[in-house]
Amino acid sequence: MQQNTKSRIVISGASGFIGSTLAQSFIALGHEVVGLVRQPENMQENGVKYVQYAFENTEIPKVFQAGDIFIHCAYSNTTTSNVQSIQATKALLHLARKNGVKQCVFLSSIAATSHSGSSYSLEKSTLENAFQTEGDIIVRPGLVIGKGGLFYNTFRFMQRRGILPVFGNGKQIVHYIAIENLVEIIHYLLQQKVTGTFYAVQEKQSSYLDFYTAVGQKTQRKIRIIKLPYWLILLGVNTIGKMVKLPITKDSIKGLQQIPQLDESLLKQSVYPFHLKSLSEILDDFQG
């Protein structure tokens, strides 16, 4: 997608952390953006045309036009099961293709290949199969760092409570990417008119313990790291989580128990002609 060629882009989950950031990045370049959101009446006027859509909808709004780009960012943990969201996404994708969209992009996750048994990884893995057709792009980001999403919730929890529970021995590998770089990667892949599956991860990885130790050093208070076994973390989420809002869920804990090994062949094709921010650079910006 050349920057001087204006496109019409439909983004599902446009009220979320990644979806909203993507939407604004395309608006800034002069593209027309349609955002599918659960509650359009709550969205600010910012150049995006918002249309009501939720996975529970029995009817899909008629938003797709021939030549559109469809970017699927939506993920819901409010539905009773991921079966509903998988079926809804497939119906949305079918309608997009039927109406002649030019390209479909699926925001997946490195968790799609983790085999952890979490609802999140199962949904991403299943939907990758639906998007793996000629002309589609699948992007697998690591932990996305910015002022939103799972990382930001954990960061704020650390600041408020002054503690960070570490699962097991804390040696799990964390693959991460700055939100700005993730957006840049998606723009680049569209511009290059490529297809296939691509990672969006910083080359340098960290252990879970080292990663959040570095994050803790950027907070305004001393952070006490508490190493706990998985079963105790799960117990805490089941009990304390009912009284205090925690940055993690039972499903995310299950996902952390089995960090995926990245595919070397996909890593080789996931090389981009721009700088991917290190954790130190991201955190410097974060505090700025």
Task: Output the domain CATH number for residue 186.
Answer: 3.40.50.720
Q: Quote the crossing angle between the two packed helices 17-28 and 149-161, to the nearest 10°.
A: 120
CA 112, chain centre distance (Å): 12
Q: What is the largest CA-CA distance in the chain?
A: 55
Which domain, by its residues, includes 25?
A: 8-144+177-201+261-275
Determine contact, residues 138/108, Cβ cutoff 8 Å: yes
Q: Residue 254 has what pLDDT? A: 57
* Residue type at 3 in one-letter notation: Q
Q: Is residue 170 part of a domain?
A: no
Q: Is 226 helix (H, G, I), strand (E, B) or coil?
A: strand
The tens digit of pLDDT for each residue in 226-261 reads 887 766 666 666 665 554 555 556 555 555 556 678
Q: Is residue 239 part of a domain?
A: no
Q: Residue 237 has what pLDDT? A: 61
Q: β-pairing, 206-207 with 173-174?
A: antiparallel
Q: Is residue 284 part of a domain?
A: no
Please tell me the distance from the alpha carbon of residue 218 to that of residue 231, in angstroms, as a whole number: 29
pLDDT at 189 over 90: yes
Q: Which tokens in the block code for residue 68?
A: 């559109």
The full DSSP string for 173-205 is EE-EEEHHHHHHHHHHHHHHT--EEEEE--SS-
The tens digit of pLDDT for each residue in 45-89 reads 789 999 999 988 878 899 999 999 999 999 876 544 678 889 999
Q: Is residue 135 part of a domain?
A: yes
Determine contact, residues 82/47, Cβ cutoff 8 Å: no
Q: Is residue 236 part of a domain?
A: no
Q: Is residue 50 part of a domain?
A: yes
Q: Residue 245 has what pLDDT? A: 55
Q: Residue 159 has what pLDDT? A: 84
Please tell me the distance from the alpha carbon of residue 6 to that of residue 170, in angstroms, as a whole number: 46
Q: Is residue 24 part of a domain?
A: yes
Q: Is residue 1 part of a domain?
A: no
The tens digit of pLDDT for each residue in 133-161 reads 778 999 999 999 999 988 888 888 888 88
105: CB partners within 8 A, 6+ apart: 69, 70, 71, 72, 136, 137, 138, 139, 186, 189, 190
Q: Report the number of distinct structural domains present in the chain.
A: 1
Q: Residue 45 has what pLDDT? A: 78
Q: Quote the crossing angle between the two packed helices 279-287 and 208-216, to the nearest 10°.
A: 30
Residues forming beta bridges with residue 104, ordered by sequence position:
70
* Residue type at 257 in one-letter notation: Q
3: CB partners within 8 A, 6+ apart: 29, 191
Q: Which tokens in the block code for residue 43?
A: 């969205």
